[in-house]
Amino acid sequence: MGFNSYDAFILGAILTTGSPIFFGKAYLFPSFPDEAAQMVLDGNPFQVRNAIIQRYEAIAGTIWLAGGLVNIILGTLWTAQGWQTSYLIGPYLDILVLLVAGVVAGAVTIIITTTLSQRVYRPRMIEMQRELFAGHAFILSHEGRDREQVDRGENVPAESRQRRLAEVAPNLDQIGKLLDVPRGERETDDQFVERLKPHFSSRPVDRRWTRWTRAIRWLTRRGL
């Protein structure tokens, strides 16, 4: 019983087959394709967020591809040396066990890439959406008047106020999507603003690299 050339070939095939999944997810299925296709003044935050996620998913795909190639090379060498002693469990059960291990490893990889990319894009999204959030929160709390109108003491017609208030909801929804804070099913604009406030009232998230992010940084510096 042991891990030998047979298992190395199976694992190599699983890894090299799984790597395109991450590349495909990164470039063929971005998080917000419709929003990213729209033009936004001063830059599109959805494109920024997608680009950050794509980078980490592409790195994960590269690591899986490299791991698969290494296992295939090891399997070839071990076969040439005649190292085929036994199976982990059995010829068919080995395939099933390693497939399950591959699925688990894929799920863990997705969790890691999501966590790492979120640490990078969340602070950027907060800074990009800070002014938009402040403006719409002010309009909502002042019955449809913006800051300049309030400062001037301007008497704004009811129609104009209602139009301004109607613009608040979709913009708050956009901010919630970018920060991974979706609006509740029956949540009002006022309730949603209160739930979003902590993200903008606190200091930007610290971007110090954890052990995982340092490892990714080390790999990217070497061309991966």
**If you average pLDDT over every residue of the chain, what do you get?**
77
pTM, full prediction? 0.64
Flag whether pLDDT at 173 surpasses 90. Answer: yes
Distance between CA 19 and CA 17 in Å, rounded?
6
- The reported pLDDT for the residue numbered 37 is 40
- Domain extents in the chain: 5-221
> 105-162 pLDDT, tens per residue?
889 988 999 899 999 889 989 988 999 999 999 998 888 888 888 888 888 888 888 9
Has residue 26 got a pLDDT over 70?
no
DSSP 8-state symbol, 184: P
From residue 56, give the alpha-carbon distance in Å to each of 17, 35, 106, 158, 207.
Answer: 18, 20, 14, 48, 16
Question: What does the alpha-carbon distance between residue 224 and residue 63 come to, in Å, rounded to a whole number?
Answer: 8
For position 50, what pLDDT does the model report? Answer: 83
More confident residue, 189 or 16: 189
Q: By three-state DSSP, how is residue 204 classified? A: coil
Instruction: List the one residue out of 7, 6, 12, 10 whose CA is nearest residue 73.
Output: 12
> pLDDT tens digit string along 72-113?
777 777 676 665 556 566 666 777 888 888 889 889 988 999
Give CA–CA dist 140/145, Å, rounded: 8
Q: Using N-to-C axis directions, what is the helix angle for 211-221 and 91-141, rounded to 10°?
A: 100
Q: What is the DSSP letter of 89?
A: S
Q: What is the pLDDT of residue 103?
A: 87
